[in-house]
Amino acid sequence: MDATREGVGIVLQFLHEQGFISARKALEVESGIEYDEKTQGAHKGNYLLSAVAVYNEFLLSKTPESGKAEKERAIEEDLVNPKGGPTKPVSTGKKLAAVHGVNIIDVRFSYAKDFQDIVASSDAKGSIVVTDVKSGSTRTAVKPGFFKAPILTTDFNPSNNLLAVGCMNGGQYIVDLKAKDKTGLLSDDVEPEVLGDLEKHGKYVNRIRWNRDGSLLATCSYDKEVRIYAVANAQEVKCELKGRFQFRRGVECVEWGWGPNAHFLYVSIQVSGFSQ
pLDDT of residue 11: 86
Distance CA 182, CA 169 (A): 30
Under 8 Å between Cβ of 155 and 208: yes
Residue 130 to residues 143, 159, 182, Cα–Cα distance (Å): 11, 17, 10
pLDDT of residue 6: 80
Domain residues of the chain, as ranges? 3-80, 104-275
CATH label, 104-275, candidates 2.60.40.790, 2.60.40.1120, 3.40.50.970, 2.130.10.10: 2.130.10.10
Distance CA 222, CA 28 (A): 22
Give Cβ neighbours of residue 31 (< 8 Å, ≥ 6 apart): 8
Distance CA 165, CA 192 (A): 12
Under 8 Å between Cβ of 147 and 137: no
Tell me phi and psi for residue 14, to 5 degrees. -60, -50
The reported pTM is 0.66
Under 8 Å between Cβ of 26 and 34: no
Question: In tens digits, what is the pLDDT along the chain, a chain of 276 residues?
Answer: 577 888 888 888 888 877 788 888 999 999 888 887 766 555 456 667 667 767 777 776 666 666 777 777 777 777 767 676 666 666 666 777 778 888 899 999 998 877 888 899 999 889 999 998 888 888 888 888 888 889 999 999 988 878 999 999 899 999 988 777 777 777 776 678 888 778 999 988 999 999 998 899 999 998 999 999 998 765 566 788 899 999 988 899 999 998 888 889 999 987 755 555
Residue type, 183: T
Distance CA 269, CA 216 (A): 21
pLDDT of residue 251: 92
Strand order in the sheet with 205-210: 205-210, 216-221, 225-233, 237-246
pLDDT of residue 87: 64
Q: Give the residue among 143, 124, 145 at the shortest CA–CA distance from 188.
A: 143
- Give alpha helix (H) positions in 2-84: 3-18, 21-31, 37-40, 46-61, 67-80
